[in-house]
Amino acid sequence: MRILLATSELHPYSKTGGLGDMVGALAKYLAKQGHQVGVVTPLYRGILEKFTGIKRFEWLLAFPLGKEFVRGGVWTLQPQQNLTVYFVEQPRFFDRDGIYQGSSGDYDDNADRYIFFSKSVVNLARYLPLQPEIVHLHDWQTGLVPLLIRHQFETGGWGNRPRHCLTIHNLAYQGVFEAANFALSNLPQDYFTPATAEFYGSLNFLKAGLCTADQVSTVSPTYANEIGTPEFGCGLESVLSELQSPVKGILNGVDYEEWNTDANPHLARPYGVDDLQGKRANKLALQKQLGLFERADTPLFVNVSRLVEQKGADLQLEAVRSLLNLDIQFALLGKGDPLFEEGFSSLAASNPGKVAVTIGYDHALAHRMEAGGDFFVMPSRFEPCGLNQMYSLRYGTPPIVRDTGGLADSVTDARDDVGMVNGIKFREPHVGALQKALFKALAVYKDPATLRHLRRNGMRVDFAWEHVAARYESMYREMKARPLSTLIRHLDPAVHLTAKIAKNT
Ligand code: ADP
Ligand code: GLC
C-alpha cells in the first residue's frame, strides 16, 4: 500500500513524548513490511545540523493563510528502503527553540503554524508521485486535514481522494482556538459547524478531525472505551460515541531495535532474561551517575516522565515523600510544570543520596533509568497508551501503574494472572492507593524469587512493532474496502441528526 503519515513529532528528529516514538516506529515497520511510506513533519530548529543526509527537495509550498500568503519549502531524507521523510520548512513557524511552547508558554500562533502544516500535508498528499491511498493523521495538529481534503474533493476536482484516518494520542490536547482562527484555513464558513470544527463557539482542531476523518483510532483498547465516558472524554465523549465507525483501539508497540538491554550503547552493561547480574551493574552505575548512595540492596524506584497532572506527578511526589523514612531510593528524570519541577527538586535537595531529580530531557539517561531501577512508577490519572511501562517491562523493571488506558492493557497484576504477573496495578488516583502499591513493591523486593518471577515475565512479553503495524495495515484495508460515498458525513448538523435518527428507527 502507499501510505502517507503526518505528525508534528517524529523520532529521531523531534520528540516531546511518545507521539514521536510511535509515529517513527509505525513508519519504520510499515516500510519494513514492504509498503511505500512517506511521513510529513515540520523541519524544526537543529534537525538539518544533526541529520546531515537531509536534502532539499524541489517543491514549493505557497498557500494563503487567511489574508496572508505564506511560502515554505520541503526537505527529504530516506532513512531506509520504502520510507521517505518530508520535512516542511517554514522558518518563521518552525525555526524556534521549542516545538509547541517557548519560555512563556504555548506559542500564540500555534493555529497559524499547524494550519500551514496541514495545508502542506494536503498539498503533498495530492501531488507527490507517491499518490497515497491512505493518509494517516496524528493528534490535533493535523485535525483540519480531512476538511481541507474534503474541500478539494468537493470543489477542486480531487475525486479519487485518499482515505484518511486520525489517531488520538491524547484527547486532553485538542487544539482549541478562538473561532476567528478558522479563517486561516480559507475554507468556506459553512464548513465551520457543530458537526465539524465548531465546539461551543471555539475552533477545535481535534474535533474537526474526529468528525470528518474516515476512521478514528486511539492507542489502546481500554482508552478507546474510556473516551466514550464523561470521566475521560474531555467534553468530546458524545462526539466520539456518535461516530459512524467506532473508535478502534490499537495498543502501541516497542521498537526493540532501540529499546533493548543486550545491544544498547547507553547501558553500562548488557543483560538479559537469563543474566540479571548485568542489571545490578546498571543499578550501581546509575546510582553513581546520579549521586545516590551506591547500594545494590536498597530498592530504587524510578520514573521518566513529562511532569504534568496527567502523569500523577503530584501523587508521586506525596507518596514518595511519605516513604522516605524507609531504606529506599527514588530517581526521577522529567520536565514540565514548574510547580512539580520545584517540588521534586526540593525533595532531592533535602534527601541527598536518597532522592535524585534531573530536570530536563535526556534520551540516554532515560535508557539508564529504565535499566538501573528496581521498579518504574507511573501513577497516571489517564494514559492513552504509555510507552515507558512497556520499556520498563523489557528492562526487567516491574512497573507500578494505575489501572487505566494502555497501562491496564500492557501490565499484568497478580490479580489478573498470578502465573504471568509482571507489575503492580492500583485503581484509585489517590496518594493512599499509590502508597499501598509502593508497599506491595517493597514486599516483592524482599522476596527475591517473586521479584525474579515478575522481572522474567516482564522481559518475555512481546510488544514488537511487527504485530502492531499489521493491525494498522488491516485497518487501512478495511477503510479502503468502504465505498467513498458511505464515508462522507453531512456538514450541516441538522441534516446529520436527521440521518442519524432515520438510521436508528
Ligand atoms: P507521553 O507521550 O504521554 O509523554 P509515553 O510514555 O507514551 O508518554 O512516552 C514518553 C516518551 O518520552 C518515552 O520515550 C520517554 O522515555 C520519553 N521521555 C519523557 N520525558 C523524558 C525526559 N525528561 N527525558 C528523556 N525522555 C523522556
Ligand atoms: C501520548 C500519550 C501516551 C501515548 C503516546 C504515544 O503522548 O499521552 O499515553 O503512549 O501519545 O501514542
Q: Tens digit of pLDDT per residue, the chain (505 long)?
A: 999 999 999 999 999 999 999 999 999 999 999 999 999 999 999 999 999 999 999 999 999 999 999 999 999 999 999 999 999 999 999 999 999 999 888 999 999 999 999 999 999 999 999 999 999 999 999 999 999 999 999 998 898 999 999 999 999 999 999 999 999 999 999 999 999 999 999 999 999 999 999 999 999 999 999 999 999 999 999 999 989 899 999 999 999 999 999 999 999 999 999 989 999 999 999 999 999 999 999 999 999 999 999 999 999 999 999 999 999 999 999 999 999 999 999 999 999 999 999 999 999 999 999 999 999 999 999 999 999 999 999 999 999 999 999 999 999 999 999 999 999 999 999 999 999 999 999 999 999 999 999 999 999 999 999 999 999 999 999 999 998 877 777 676 665 545 444 544 4
Q: How far apart are CA 54 and CA 86, in angstroms?
A: 9
CA-CA-CA-CA torsion sign (213, 218, 222, 228): negative
Length of the chain equals 505
pLDDT score, position 496: 52
pLDDT at 472: 98
Query: Distance between CA 326 and CA 291 in Å, rounded?
Result: 19
* Residue with CA at minimum distance from ligand 1 atom 16: 366
Binding site membership of 252 for ligand 2 (Cβ less than 6 Å): yes
The pLDDT of residue 244: 84
- Closest approach atom of ligand 2 to CA 310: 8
Residue spans in the chain of domains classed CATH 3.40.50.2000: 2-253+469-504, 277-460
Ligand 2 centroid – CA 220 distance (Å): 10
CATH topology of domain 277-460: Rossmann fold (3.40.50)
* Residue 340 and residue 307 in contact, taking contact as beta carbons nearer than 8 Å: yes
Q: What pTM was computed for the model?
A: 0.95
Mutate to test the pocket of ligand 2, among 5, 15, 16, 22 (most ligand atoms within 8 A of CB): 22
Pairing outcome for strands 83-89 and 68-80: antiparallel
Residues 394, 461 contacting (CB under 8 angstroms): yes
Taking CB atoms within 8 Å and a gap of at least 24, the contacts of 71-80 are 72/116, 72/120, 74/120, 74/124, 75/43, 75/48, 77/51, 77/53, 79/28, 80/28, 80/31, 80/32
CA distance linking residue 66 with residue 49, whole number of Å: 32
Quick check: 332 and 344 in contact, CB under 8 A?
A: yes
- Burial (0-12, 13-18, 19+ Cβ within 10 Å), 58: exposed
Q: What distance in Å separates the CA atoms of residue 480 and residue 474, rounded to the nearest whole number? A: 10
pLDDT value for 493: 62
Is the C-beta atom of 386 inside 6 A of ligand 2?
Answer: yes
Task: Quote the CATH superfamily of domain 2-253+469-504.
Answer: Glycogen Phosphorylase B; (3.40.50.2000)
CA of 166 to the centre of ligand 2 (A): 14
Q: How many C-beta atoms lie closer than 10 Å to residue 288's C-beta?
A: 13
Measured torsion, CA atoms of residues 332, 336, 342, 343, in degrees rounded to the nearest 10: -60
**Protein residue with its CA nearest to atom 9 in ligand 1:** 18
Q: Which atom of ligand 1 is nearest to the CA of 385?
A: 7
Strand partners, 401: 378, 425
